[in-house]
A and B are shown apart, each in its own frame.
Chain A
Amino acid sequence: MSVWDAVVGQTVVPGLQRTVEDASAARAGDGRGDMTHAWLFTGPPGSGRSVVARAFAAALQCPDGGCGSCSECTEVRAGTHPDVAHLVTEGLNIRIGQVRDLVPRAALRPSRGRWQIVVVEDADRLGEDAADALLLSVEEPPERTVWMLCAPTAEDIVPTIRSRCRVVQLRTPPYTDVARHLAATENVEERTAEFAARASQGHVGRARALATDEDARNRRAEVLRLPFDLTDLRQCLDAAANLVEAAKADAERHCDALDEREVEDLRTALGAGTTGRRPRNMESAVKELEKEQKLRRTRVQRDSIDRALVDVLALYRDVLMIQLGVRTELVNEEMRPSLDRLAGSGRAESTLRRMEAVVAAREALQANAAPLLALESMALTLREG
């Protein structure tokens, strides 16, 4: 057993393991070079950036380089280690206040004598102000402090911070690794694990959801019916509306309870109900929070639509492979008969145009387009091919 078991399909692990050994030696004073104090883990969504950061953190704190079973390893995994801080945000942006709270902590000597580690999970959501607040600590870190930032790409990070970091680039894990990982960690059949790995296209979190949650599988199947139901205009508009509705439902599942709890926590923190008197700033603080929650809901909806579009895109890629006669395993292998029919009803050029339409819709949504309208436009283009 090892903390690295949680990492799926990443070739960078041996290098990181060597770093852990060197760091341990450097700490013992054998002069093998200094530990790098700022790391940036990049990789596509679902590649496991924060998982790698966490494993790395555990390995650095563990006396055995990440045994996976000692108390250091266990506490890092559980997020309770006193010398490993996590900055996660549910909002659109990391608030400057969150960073200001963290910086003094990063300056402390590690309470257990090894490393003081701070993991910033969505470093791409550091605004300029928040990044500035972080900069000094990253630039001139105390001897035992290690920053670990995670972001989709290095370009997502403010240059001043990025230039101080050693970048560790993760890849989309191969399906076989994801399937093996699911089979080992979740109680699912091999066939289900394989399906989930393929369908998720190497997104580990998504694969886990597809492997273990029947609702998630059904929702995906629903999305994949879209290319087959685009005969008249009304079907196109309905398909677009359904995607938006499903995304809303997704956001409700994700946000409703969370929103409520956050507001409650905030009220408790500001002392409502305890004194019977409402602090004057309470309502404005709650309003501020609700504004953030609304933004988060928008983001969750957008992410949900994007995930659906990724699935649709993969389906058309499968169709294209069939049309071009490329022998390969399809992402949607289990749909091969209907994909054959779809492939037979058109030409590769149309499929490419359709794929372009899906990509264009994804880009439009990233650029804050009206979701329903963007999807309608896409569906109508898919109809024509």
Chain B
Amino acid sequence: MSALSTDPLVPVTLVAGPESLLAERAVAAVVRAARAADPDADVSHTTGGELTAGGVAEHVSPSLFATRRVLVVNDVQDVSDAVGELLVEQVRAPAPDVHIVLVHPGGVKGKKHLTALRKAGVHEVGAERITRPDDQVGFVRAEVRRAGGRIDEPAARQLVDAVGGELRALASAAAQLVSDSADGVVSESVIATYFEGRAEVKGWVVADRAVEGKTGEAVEQLRWALETGTDPVLITGALATALRSLARLSSVPRGQRDADVASDLGVPPWKVRILRGQLRGWSSDGLARAVRAVADADLAVKGGGNDPTLALTTALVHIGDARAQQPATT
């Protein structure tokens, strides 16, 4: 089953199954192997619907330049019967130095062709969905190894619990975690830190909506963030950071270049444009009031006993009021 365990450089490879990540990798393995064997290998892509009998014939006929050739056929279920027969023929009597990869996304369509290919003894790589949690844990562990790291079973399980079963998300989390870890060991604490970072993002969304005066949206995002387990302290932290940047920007003399402002405020240049937009509608006194509202919420959250949702909602409402506050009325 595994593309890694055998030589991928066979005349015809069938990649069958709905898991696109695995399918892409199987295709990439063949292409890589072909290029390793011949750096000038010619790789072309087509789809089952586009591929004609003439196209197949052209592809398998001896090459003028005697280069190795790879043909990737996506959506192989769409091929005509004539093309299907030509492909089966390639399994039985392959043309030299030609590698054909047939990608089938699963399902019943094109079943006839699959059966014929299998009967002819096609080399097959599975790309089935991984639905059992144990298999997902196994996948994570393999991914971490692949990225040059190590992870034990409990940590892998924790990662699956946090990310869910989507392989692409698991694979990118695994790669990220290996590079985040100091020594390649993806421990449970490395994972915890990683997800704290993601929780922070939720805090930023709340803060951005709040300082833009979209109080309703901010409250909605707040509820969502808290419901999904974001620590209230991360929300007050994000609110404080957002208001801090605006307050600093408000004291910058008009007409300064974005790049200078950026280095002054310690934010990337693209952020300055966003901040300038957010600052519109704020007065100094309003910003001061908003910072105090966040400090009050922080204290309420730390004090325990208090309902953090209420404390943070109150802060968001006060921030909205503070933004609406006109300098003249203070």
Q: Which A residues have a C-beta under 8 Å from some C-beta of B?
A: 232-237, 364, 367-370, 372-374, 376-377, 380-381, 383-384
Is the Cβ of A364 less than 8 Å from the Cβ of B295? yes
A372 nearest in chain B by CB position: B240
Is the Cβ of A237 less than 8 Å from the Cβ of B244? yes
CB-CB < 8 A to B236: which residues of A?
370, 373
Q: Given A234-B251, A237-B247, A380-B288, output 12 extra A-B contacts at Cβ < 8 Å.
A: A232-B250, A232-B284, A234-B247, A236-B288, A364-B295, A368-B302, A369-B299, A373-B240, A373-B298, A374-B299, A377-B292, A384-B285
Complex-state Cα separation, A237 to B241, whole angstroms:
11
Is the Cβ of B288 less than 8 Å from the Cβ of A237? no
Complex-state Cα separation, A232 to B284, whole angstroms:
8
Q: Does B126 contact A (CB under 8 A)?
A: no
Complex-state Cα separation, A366 to B44, whole angstroms:
68
* Residues of B contacting A: mostly: helix
Is the Cβ of A374 less than 8 Å from the Cβ of B295? yes
Question: Closest 4 A-B residue pairs measured CB to CB?
Answer: A234-B251, A377-B295, A380-B288, A233-B247
Given the interface pairs A364-B295, A370-B237, A380-B291, the reply to whether A233 lies near B303 with Cβ below 8 Å is no
CB-CB < 8 A to A370: which residues of B?
233, 236-237, 240, 295, 298, 302
Is the Cβ of B295 less than 8 Å from the Cβ of A369? yes
Interface bits B277-308 vs A (CB < 8 Å: 1, else 0): 00000001101100110111011001100000
Q: List 10 A-B contacts (CB under 8 A).
A: A232-B284, A233-B288, A234-B250, A234-B251, A234-B252, A369-B298, A370-B295, A374-B299, A377-B294, A377-B295
CB-CB < 8 A to B303: which residues of A?
367
Contact of A376 among B252, B295, B299 (CB under 8 A): B295
Is the Cβ of B248 less than 8 Å from the Cβ of A373? no
Is the Cβ of B299 less than 8 Å from the Cβ of A384? no
What total of chain B residues lie within 8 Å of the partner, measured CB to CB?
23
Q: Closest CB-CB distance, B59 to chain A, in whole Å? A: 61
CB-CB < 8 A to B233: which residues of A?
370
Complex-state Cα separation, A376 to B250, whole angstroms:
15
Complex-state Cα separation, A369 to B237, whole angstroms:
11
CB-CB < 8 A to A235: which residues of B?
251
CB-CB < 8 A to B302: which residues of A?
367-370
Q: Which B residues have a C-beta under 8 Å from some C-beta of A?
A: 233, 236-237, 240, 244, 247-248, 250-252, 284-285, 287-288, 291-292, 294-296, 298-299, 302-303
A235 nearest in chain B by CB position: B251
CB-CB < 8 A to A234: which residues of B?
247-248, 250-252
In the complex, how many residue pairs between chain A and chain B have their CB atoms under 8 Å apart?
65
Q: Closest CB-CB distance, B246 to chain A, in whole Å? A: 9
Is the Cβ of A384 less than 8 Å from the Cβ of B295? no
CB-CB < 8 A to B298: which residues of A?
369-370, 373-374
CB-CB < 8 A to A364: which residues of B?
295, 299
Is the Cβ of A233 less than 8 Å from the Cβ of B284? yes
Complex-state Cα separation, A234 to B299, whole angstroms:
23
Is the Cβ of A373 less than 8 Å from the Cβ of B284? no
Contact of B294 among A236, A368, A373, A384 (CB under 8 A): A373
Is the Cβ of A377 less than 8 Å from the Cβ of B284? no
CB-CB < 8 A to A233: which residues of B?
247-248, 250-251, 284, 287-288
B294 nearest in chain A by CB position: A373
Complex-state Cα separation, A235 to B237, whole angstroms:
20
CB-CB < 8 A to A369: which residues of B?
295, 298-299, 302
Q: Closest CB-CB distance, A242 to chain B, in whole Å? A: 14
CB-CB < 8 A to A232: which residues of B?
250-251, 284
Is the Cβ of B240 less than 8 Å from the Cβ of A384? no
Complex-state Cα separation, A195 to B248, whole angstroms:
37
Q: Closest CB-CB distance, B318 to chain A, in whole Å? A: 12
Complex-state Cα separation, A372 to B250, whole angstroms:
19
Complex-state Cα separation, A189 to B94, whole angstroms:
102
CB-CB < 8 A to A373: which residues of B?
236, 240, 291, 294-295, 298
CB-CB < 8 A to B237: which residues of A?
370
CB-CB < 8 A to B295: which residues of A?
364, 369-370, 373-374, 376-377
Is the Cβ of B251 less than 8 Å from the Cβ of A376? no
Complex-state Cα separation, A364 to B300, whole angstroms:
10
CB-CB < 8 A to A380: which residues of B?
288, 291-292
A375 nearest in chain B by CB position: B295
CB-CB < 8 A to A376: which residues of B?
240, 244, 291, 295
Complex-state Cα separation, A117 to B252, whole angstroms:
63
Complex-state Cα separation, A23 to B117, whole angstroms:
105
Complex-state Cα separation, A373 to B240, whole angstroms:
7
Q: Closest CB-CB distance, B162 to chain A, in whole Å? A: 24
Complex-state Cα separation, A234 to B266, whole angstroms:
14
Complex-state Cα separation, A192 to B250, whole angstroms:
43
Complex-state Cα separation, A236 to B250, whole angstroms:
12
Q: Closest CB-CB distance, A119 to chain B, in whole Å? A: 34
Q: Closest CB-CB distance, B297 to chain A, in whole Å? A: 10
Complex-state Cα separation, A384 to B284, whole angstroms:
11
A380 nearest in chain B by CB position: B288
